[in-house]
Amino acid sequence: MQIQNYIGGSLINPSSNLFLDNYNPAQGKVYSYIPDSEKEDIEKAYKAAKEAFPSWSKTTREERFRIMMKIADLIEQKHDELALAESIDNGKPVKLAHHVDIPRAASNIRFFATAIMHYASESHDMNGVAINYTLRKPIGVVGCISPWNLPLYLFTWKIAPALAAGNTVVAKPSEVTPMTAYLFSKICIEAGLPEGVLNIVHGLGVKVGAAITEHPGIKAISFTGGTETGKAIAKVAAPMFKKLSLELGGKNPNIIFADCDFENALRTSVMSSFANQGQICLCGSRIFVERPIYEKFKTAFVEKVKKLKVGDPNDASSNLGALVSKDHLEKVLGYIELAKEEGGTILTGGEQIHLDGELKEGNYLAPTVIEGLAFNCRTNQEEIFGPVVTIMPFDTEEEVLTYANSTQYGLAATVWTQDVTKANRVAAQLESGIVWVNCWLVRDLRTPFGGVKSSGVGREGGFNALNFFTEPTNVCIKL
Ligand code: NDP
């Protein structure tokens, strides 16, 4: 199967007519081909988006709502096809794609289609002297660049507010997981999205992503991905005064106090460590357990992790599927070696798993728990982004806050305690964009989403995203 770019409403080959291999990570085999696009393709996409902007930005919000709701309906109608495609492309268990990725992609579109109907701007009355009101105008052509871990989920999370606010878009999904973005372009055609309003260009980050970032006509970039890539984008975009929203890496702490609901903390920590093979930016990768329950928690946690099944993503009984690529598997295995060098003890996992038959070349890794590391070693400071967690005890609140806040990251944190006062106190002191108390990944799409420190700049979610994708003009009228 050959994937195509979606430019000016049509599915077309890249200018170079060259294609890259697209791998099925569960089998380690090439199963489709993706456009190896160039700067020239971004230029074509930009021109189409520019041409579409005057009309789309003036399209009534009711009409934008109607088209976006049609897109959401079509995602739901094609749910099974999309879930299977996501699983094959990414290696994640198909049941996860069924329950999380695809429903959330439809929700993203529906959420912002409805949000734009309720979006209002401010007015400031100066006691009879003058009145100010804020006009919120779409920016123009904007760029959306997304990663491979939650492909359609994160792709739609960016595109939906951009389109709802009246912008036209040049978007690039990860080259590692392009398939559902391609299927999504077909859905947009079927839903009657006008030509050029959304343009999807596939290819390498260093070519296609960089061309979006550098393009002088693309006035805003919404990016989700690694911190190093975020830095490279900021370096190019900042001197051009582009609006930037950067959702970057994390090294999230999971803090378990002795007075927690033990069973709930245990069950959820297994999930928050290993869901999607640990490849969710919000996964807790450092587990801190208060000393009085440390041994009990550790033993029960390791026992549960040992029971997780790593297997065929298409098998409903698999808890973990394959890691997204060979390169990524190597990177994660490298961190396990580093943890050993740093004095860590592998309590379970730590090695690649070789399955049989068609799956024998797949990128499988046993869920790994490591003990005995200092909070400030590299393993505990750098993002691994795989099925690897460290576990360590703590004695005081002050100590655990030092550990938790010690990394360059600050995306998400989880706190387990039945003491509400303590939960509030700790949440307020965590350097983190998101804090979950006695839960994980409970998401209300209206809330601000994003990180502090090297985890990002800006917030997505709800009206934050619509504010990002609009430019305010204050109009002051003398009375
Ligand atoms: P990358 O930063 O490698 O890639 C993200 C996207 O950027 C991809 O589409 C990539 O293309 C593209 N890209 C790569 N280089 C450039 C460049 N120079 N200019 C512009 N675009 C470029 O991240 P991953 O895909 O590896 O995703 C994993 C990372 O994403 C982790 O660090 C994770 O924490 C983070 N993440 C953050 C989230 C958040 O909300 N904060 C959510 C999910 C993930 P290509 O794939 O072709 O290289």
Q: Is 211 left (phi over 0), alpha (psi -120 to 50) or beta?
A: alpha
Grade residue 13 by pLDDT with cuts at 50, 70 and 90.
very high
Q: For 252-444, CATH number?
A: 3.40.309.10
Given this model, what pLDDT does residue 75 score?
A: 99
Domains of the chain by residue range: 5-248+455-478, 252-444
Residue whose CA is closest, atom 39 of ligand 1? 247
Given this model, what pLDDT does residue 249 score?
A: 97
Ligand 1 centroid from CA 6, angstroms: 21
303-327: average pLDDT: 98
For the question of residue 247 being annotated catalytic, the response is: yes
The answer to whether 5-248+455-478 and 252-444 have equal CATH topology is: no
Amino acid, res. 149: N
H or E, element range at 87: helix 79-90
**pLDDT tens per residue, range 400-429:** 999 999 999 999 999 999 999 999 999 999
Between β-strands 368-371 and 345-348, what pairing exists: parallel, antiparallel or unpaired? antiparallel
Q: Verify whether ligand 1 is closer than 6 Å to residue 247 (CB atom).
A: yes
Ligand 1 centroid from CA 254, angstroms: 24
Given this model, what pLDDT does residue 448 score?
A: 98
Given this model, what pLDDT does residue 14 score?
A: 98
Catalytic member of 144, 188, 260, 281? 281
Q: Verify whether ligand 1 is closer than 6 Å to residue 147 (CB atom).
A: yes
For the question of residue 281 being annotated catalytic, the response is: yes
In a 3-state reduction of DSSP, which class is residue 25? coil
Q: Choose which residue among 221, 229, 240, 281 to substitute to test ligand 1 binding: the one with the highest number of ligand atoms within 8 A of its C-beta.
A: 229
* Beta-strand runs (E) in 291-441: 345-348, 352-353, 364-365, 368-371, 388-394, 412-416, 434-437
**pLDDT tens per residue, range 213-272:** 999 999 999 999 999 999 999 999 999 999 999 999 999 999 999 999 999 999 999 999
Q: Verify whether ligand 1 is closer than 6 Å to residue 166 (CB atom).
A: no
Q: Verify whether ligand 1 is closer than 6 Å to residue 143 (CB atom).
A: no
Grade residue 111 by pLDDT with cuts at 50, 70 and 90.
very high
Nearest alpha-carbon partner for 166 in 58, 88, 325? 58
Q: Tokens at residue 146, please? A: 């997304």
Angle between helices 262-274 and 291-306 (to 10 degrees): 50
Grade residue 346 by pLDDT with cuts at 50, 70 and 90.
very high
Whether the full predicted model's pTM is greater than 0.75, yes or no, is yes
Amino acid, res. 201: V
**pLDDT tens per residue, range 368-393:** 999 999 999 999 999 999 999 999 99
91-119: average pLDDT: 98
Given this model, what pLDDT does residue 204 score?
A: 98
Grade residue 297 by pLDDT with cuts at 50, 70 and 90.
very high
Q: For 5-248+455-478, CATH number?
A: 3.40.605.10
Given this model, what pLDDT does residue 242 score?
A: 98
CA gap 457, 51 in Å, rounded: 30
H or E, element range at 189: helix 179-191
Find tokens 């598997």 and name the residue: 329
Given this model, what pLDDT does residue 366 score?
A: 98
Q: State the CB neighbour count (10 A cutoff) for residue 138.
A: 22
Given this model, what pLDDT does residue 126 score?
A: 97
User: CB–CB of 308/387 below 8 Å?
Assistant: no
Grade residue 288 by pLDDT with cuts at 50, 70 and 90.
very high
Given this model, what pLDDT does residue 280 score?
A: 98
Work out the percent of the chain whose per-residue pLDDT is above 90. 100
CA gap 349, 364 in Å, rounded: 11
Ligand 1 centroid from CA 126, angstroms: 46
